[in-house]
Structure 1
């Protein structure tokens, strides 16, 4: 399993647009073989930070999902929310492998 951790700098004035953007990506990750662990939005402290985590069974599965960017109409529409609203100022993507509790 590989987990993608996204660190966002967001425009706090565009939090509603960011939530619409996030809900679309939660759905798209699930529709294309991944497990979305959620978006984590500002509650206290810095109001311009958000995080997201999602996993795929392998790097190859993630790469099949990534191949849809820029070509799949649903992926393009989800990115349009971000682009038109300006809700995301910057983001960084890191890949991690989870260490899960043992039974």
Structure 2
């Protein structure tokens, strides 16, 4: 399993647009072979940071999902929310390997 951690710098004045953007991407990840663990948004005080975490069974599965970017109409529509609203100022993607609690 591989987990993608996306760190966003967002426009705090456009948080509602960011939430719409996030909801679309959660559905897309889940529909196309991944498992979305959610977006984590500012809660207290002024902040322009947000996180997203989602996993795919392998890097190859993630790369297959990435082939849909900019081509599949649902992916284009999700990106349009971001682009038209200006809710995301920048983002950085990191891949991590989860170490999960052992099941007893």
For normalisation by structure 1, the TM-score amounts to 0.98
* 1:1-103 correspondence runs (5 A): 1-103=1-103
Q: Deviations over 1:47-98 (max 9, x none)?
A: 1000000000000000000000010000000000000000000000000000
Q: What is the Cα deviation at residue 46 of structure 1?
A: 4.7
Calculate the aligned-residue CA RMSD, in Å: 0.7
Please identify, of 36-45 and 84-93, the stretch whose mean Cα deviation from structure 2 is larger.
36-45
Alpha-carbon distance between aligned partners in 1 of 2:15 and 2:102, rounded to the nearest angstrom: 37
5+ long unaligned stretches in structure 1: none
Q: What is the Cα deviation at residue 45 of structure 1?
A: 4.3
Q: Provide the aligned length of Structure 1 versus Structure 2.
A: 103
5+ long unaligned stretches in structure 2: none
Q: Which runs of 4+ in 1 moved over 3 A?
A: none
For normalisation by structure 2, the TM-score amounts to 0.97
| Matched residue SS, 2:22 | helix
